[in-house]
Amino acid sequence: MDATATASVAAGSDGDVGMTEAAAGGGGSDNEGEDNWDNVASGSEEDNDGFGGGSDDDGGGYSDGGDAEAEADEDNDDDGGDDEDDDDEDRDMIILCSSSVGRWERYEAALEAAEAAEATKRALSSSQDVARKRQIFAPREAFAMLSRELTDFMRSGNTEMAIETAGDDLYHWLVDLGSFDPASQLGKDMREVSRRYCYSSVRLRLRFMRGLHPFFPPSVEVVWPHLAGPLLGAVASHPLLALENWDPWRPALAAVAQIKAFLEAHARVDLDNPANDIRRHPTSTYSPLERSLARLEALSGMPPVAAAQPDVAALYAAREDYERDTARLAALAEGGKKRARAEAATGAAATAAAGALAGARGREVVWARGTGYGSGSRTGESWNVEASQAAQAARDEEIRGLLAVMASALAWELGAEGPAVAGTEAAAAEQAGATEVSGSAAADGPQQQRGKAEAMEGVETEATASDAGGSGGRGSGAGASSGAGTSGFSSQGDEPLLGPGGCAEVIRASCLLPFLARELRGASFSDMGSRNSYYTALLTVIRELCRTSTAELLWSPAEQPRSPADAGAAGAPGGSSRGSGSSLAGLVTGSLRSAARLYLNVLAPSAGAPPPPGPGATTAAAPGPNVASTSAAASALPAPLRPIDKAAVAAQKAAIEADATQRMARMIGQIVEYLERHRPPPAQQQQGGAAGAADLSAHEASGRGAEAERTASGAAASTSAASGSGAGGSSATAVYLATLKPLQVDAVPDLCRSHHYASQARGEMAAPRTRAVRLAKEIASLESLLPLSESSSVFVRVDETAVHVWKALIVGPEDTPYSGGCFLFDFYFPPQYPGVPPQVHLLTTGGGRVRFNPNLYAEGKVCLSLLGTWSGDKGETWNSEVSTAVQVLISIQSLIMVPQPYFNEPSYEAQTDERGKTMSRDYSKNVRENCVRYAMLDVLRHPPVSLAEVVRQHFRLRREPLLRQIDSWADEGQAHDAAHAGRLREMRRELAALMSAL
């Protein structure tokens, strides 16, 4: 076996520069570079010396140079000498493999011990959890499989690639690819690289997911050379590496071969880029910003903006041309579905027995789920709140660490003075707290970001923690791995720099701007507050872009191609799945600024409140002479004897969250202040500045967060805008939305003066901060979460001095007996909120004479499992962590105000025969008549003061559709009840007269 190839598989520091024989001599001619092409470079001579336990003196070492091999050839010309050398090489290879396996096992055992000592188990993202469910191997079995694959490769004598581990971490590979087709463009470029920079391999970094291998794909990163175009991101996000395409039964080396084939067919080297000199840039020929953008592309699943260009679209489409076993992948996916069905069937077993005892039988669901009465066809499935939150937190942490590295990279690239917003008045007051995520990146330097850098790799954060703890005496083990992380920075200046212009260029072509826009547009402020560390990281990146050289990016349209294939089919740059032309600046200066300002205003009255007591606090007494002794006595008690004050724990948690969310809100203010002071002329904004005005339509088009919350409440069907007929209908819809949107949420004085819960609100002895913090988030989110359309809308008023008192107006959904009616509700949030649900009272009852629904009583009671006024399945009842007042409003709108409310009555759902249909028709007939009488005529004659303008504008703009609707109801009822039809026609005339006067 060739000595050079043997040495190349040795484990060593990934920061070492590998060279061919010609490179070791300080360069060489073109011929020398070509002669050594098959000798793939790897570790340095120093690192590769002495592997296998020997040294140069005893013959146990493996030198990386070609001199040892040449001398051996000269001294062993006869056949006997050759056989003896072969035996020595075989023996040394066995020693090398055994030594490597031993080091890997010791490193793995240390990690397992560290994990066992941790109190909490690391959460998994949703995709990682899918792989966990597919995993059939124990951790040690998976380790043995990967170890065997690597040692088998070491013994194979393969000269087309070389593999080494980063330190002693078996799950972190450095792969050097060589022997490219000499006729390919990459092969030609690599010969030029060999001549200029004295290395001849393409290095890849692979990170496997510990505990999930082989069922979770590794992350792949190009280390060197610097390839032309978007190849770094194209490799990182290669479809082969997507979970749905990953084949766990194929060796990892097969995936490497596929990546190599893709590079050989499509890659070119950016030969004139000075970063290709790996003696100056041994960590990577790509800057930290470029690497983090490529990793973001892989994690987010978003193609880069550059994929709208035909040539880049063709490159991305070419990635689909790889070998795959579609039948095996389909079987793997089907196996997951079967497991899910089996788990659901297990969960349904208990309810099936109860259903049999109750005489339940399989029947069609004919009423709205979620109203507390069950469906008669429950499957036992429910939303696992804790699992969902854990998966979201794991995904957030993965991307948050990546964004932190990106923010630090921007600070390092764009200058140590910090972003331009740091000079504003708002920033001066907030500078100490607002840099929680990125820290003083410019002042600290990049070296301090190594721990965060591991998150950019996407997987092994625990390895970093182990490395940081030190592993003295391990040699090339954990310490070497940590020092060689491609994502980290180096204070020795070995990282390539792009400069301000280069940063702007790579960001403009990447997926960063569309990703930031998607995340901010799709989030409510409540969600942002609950996940404040994640959104603070997003905003920190935006803040770092608030500089002269990059600010124009924030005003440019944040467009995302539909997909590489679609972009290629479009055949023109700039194709976008969204025609809104929205910009990040438009989003931040629009609804996000409004929400942040509202949040800070709501919390302002309690801003000076003292910090809440800790979890062990047993008294809430005011400070006095006995406080110190009381605290000392309490702390002297044994920990198990002190009861846990859940209220104090919740208050402390709320205070921490409020502090972080207020910093985030003030950071938004900083960014807005800078953007307003540096707003470019309209011609330069490329319609980006119009995003603030168009934010509503953009939010409805892609508001994933809001839609997710609505869907969780079952409200998606009722929040879509009514489709107008022709241009006139579209115009009327636009006018309705534009007129009513500014009226949707408002804070008004003296709301308690005419409120059902006024006495409870006035009788409160304290204003808990936990409630204030939670309500601040919810109020700030109302504008983005409340539905607004011609078909149905929700409006809210908040008492400006008592934010726990609300009044709401729900416009009945179309195609229901409540259509177009204005139904008023009073909301009260007791001091225990959010530990308990809000109290809700219906005001539109005809003075206590009308029961509009089995769930809406004449005395005003609202029967809903979410409110605790009726029992419900798990996932339907109030959850203090995720349930909100918006969910209550939308549940009433879409789950109570349904097309056939008769079937909301308990046990009536089984009446699917003709008699049941007749009863339902008669019930809806009465609801329609009372809707016109009390939810239209009465509310128009006596509108609530705080919502009077909403009532007037609603009936003014919906005049004709509402009159046509009443005509339709009258015609439909004529055949069954002529008196009912007559009453409807009479009320129609009254309503038409009132609306004509508006």
Residue 191 lies in a domain: yes
Lowest mean pLDDT among 339-353, 354-368, 783-797, 813-827: 354-368
Q: Which residues pair with 311 in a beta bridge?
A: none
Residue 325 lies in a domain: no
Residue 764, φ and ψ in degrees, nearest 5: -65, 135
Confidence of residue 615 (pLDDT cuts 50, 70, 90): very low
What range does the domain containing 276 cover? Answer: 128-302
What tokens were used for 577?
């799945």
| Region of residue 561 (phi > 0: left; psi between -120 and 50: alpha; otherwise: beta) | beta
What tokens were used for 958?
């919906």
Q: Look at residues 266, 287, 302 and tell me which one is the last residue of a structural domain.
A: 302
Residue 121 lies in a domain: no
Higher-confidence position of 120 and 790:
790
Confidence of residue 701 (pLDDT cuts 50, 70, 90): very low
Residue 64 has pLDDT above 90, yes or no: no
Cβ-based neighbour number of residue 44 at 10 Å? 19
| Region of residue 794 (phi > 0: left; psi between -120 and 50: alpha; otherwise: beta) | beta
Residue 411 has pLDDT above 60, yes or no: yes
pLDDT of residue 387: 76
Residue 570 lies in a domain: no
Summarised one tens digit per residue, pLDDT across range 183-233 is 999 999 999 999 999 999 999 999 999 999 999 999 999 999 999 999 999
Summarised one tens digit per residue, pLDDT across range 502-556 is 999 999 999 999 999 999 988 888 889 889 899 999 999 999 999 888 989 999 8
The whole-angstrom separation of Cα 758 and Cα 807 is 12
Specify burial of residue 483 (Cβ count, 10 A radius: 0-12, 13-18, 19+). middle
Residue 607 has pLDDT above 60, yes or no: no
Establish whether 863 is a catalytic residue: yes
Confidence of residue 418 (pLDDT cuts 50, 70, 90): low
Higher-confidence position of 403 and 635:
403
pLDDT of residue 975: 87
CATH of the domain at 869: 3.10.110.10
Residue 479 has pLDDT above 90, yes or no: no
Among 198, 511, 863, 931, which one carries the catalytic annotation?
863
pLDDT of residue 382: 55
Residue 389 lies in a domain: no
Residue 490 lies in a domain: no
Mean pLDDT of the chain: 75
pLDDT of residue 910: 61
Would you tell me the crossing angle of helices 288-300 and 512-521 to the nearest 10 degrees? 50
Q: Look at residues 302, 321, 338 and tell me which one is the last residue of a structural domain.
A: 302
Instruction: Tell me the whole-structure pTM to 2 decimals.
Output: 0.74
Confidence of residue 252 (pLDDT cuts 50, 70, 90): very high
Q: What is the 3-state secondary structure (H, E, C) of 852-892?
A: CECCECCCCEECCHHHCCCCCCCCCCCCCCCCCHHHHHHHH
CA distances from 38 to 9, 185, 984 (A): 14, 17, 90
Q: Look at residues 302, 330, 359 and tell me which one is the last residue of a structural domain.
A: 302
Q: What is the 8-class DSSP label of residue 159?
A: S
CA atoms within 13 A on the CB side of 203: 30
pLDDT of residue 104: 93
Confidence of residue 393 (pLDDT cuts 50, 70, 90): confident
Summarised one tens digit per residue, pLDDT across range 307-328 is 999 999 999 999 998 888 888 8
pLDDT of residue 323: 85
Alpha helices in 270-384, H assignment, sequence order: 288-300, 310-318, 326-357
Residue 725 has pLDDT above 80, yes or no: no
What tokens were used for 746?
């408002």
Residue corresponding to tokens 């991305």: 316
Cβ-based neighbour number of residue 518 at 10 Å? 20
pLDDT of residue 860: 95
Residue 868 lies in a domain: yes
Residue 489 has pLDDT above 50, yes or no: no
Q: Coil, strand or helix: which one is 247?
A: coil
Residue 446 has pLDDT above 70, yes or no: no
Higher-confidence position of 499 and 25:
499
Lowest mean pLDDT among 91-105, 344-358, 552-566: 344-358
Residue corresponding to tokens 């996407």: 458
Residue 924 has pLDDT above 80, yes or no: yes
Residue 634 has pLDDT above 80, yes or no: no
Summarised one tens digit per residue, pLDDT across range 298-312 is 999 999 999 999 999
The whole-angstrom separation of Cα 66 and Cα 68 is 6
Q: Which residues of 87-124 are buried (b: 16+ CB within 10 A; e: fewer)?
A: eebeebbeebbeebbebbbebbebbeeebeeeeeeebb
Mean pLDDT, residues 774-783 taken together:
92
Percentage with pLDDT > 90 across the chain: 45
Confidence of residue 352 (pLDDT cuts 50, 70, 90): very low
Residue 901 has pLDDT above 50, yes or no: yes
Containing 212, the helix (H) or strand (E) segment is: none
Pairing status of strand 745-748 against strand 794-799: parallel
Work out how many domains the chain is built from and give that number.
Answer: 2
Residue 39 lies in a domain: no
The whole-angstrom separation of Cα 499 and Cα 502 is 5
The whole-angstrom separation of Cα 81 and Cα 60 is 17
Alpha helices in 359-483, H assignment, sequence order: 385-414, 425-434, 441-444, 450-456, 461-468, 478-483
CA atoms within 13 A on the CB side of 307: 29
Confidence of residue 79 (pLDDT cuts 50, 70, 90): low
Higher-confidence position of 216 and 11:
216
Higher-confidence position of 469 and 167:
167
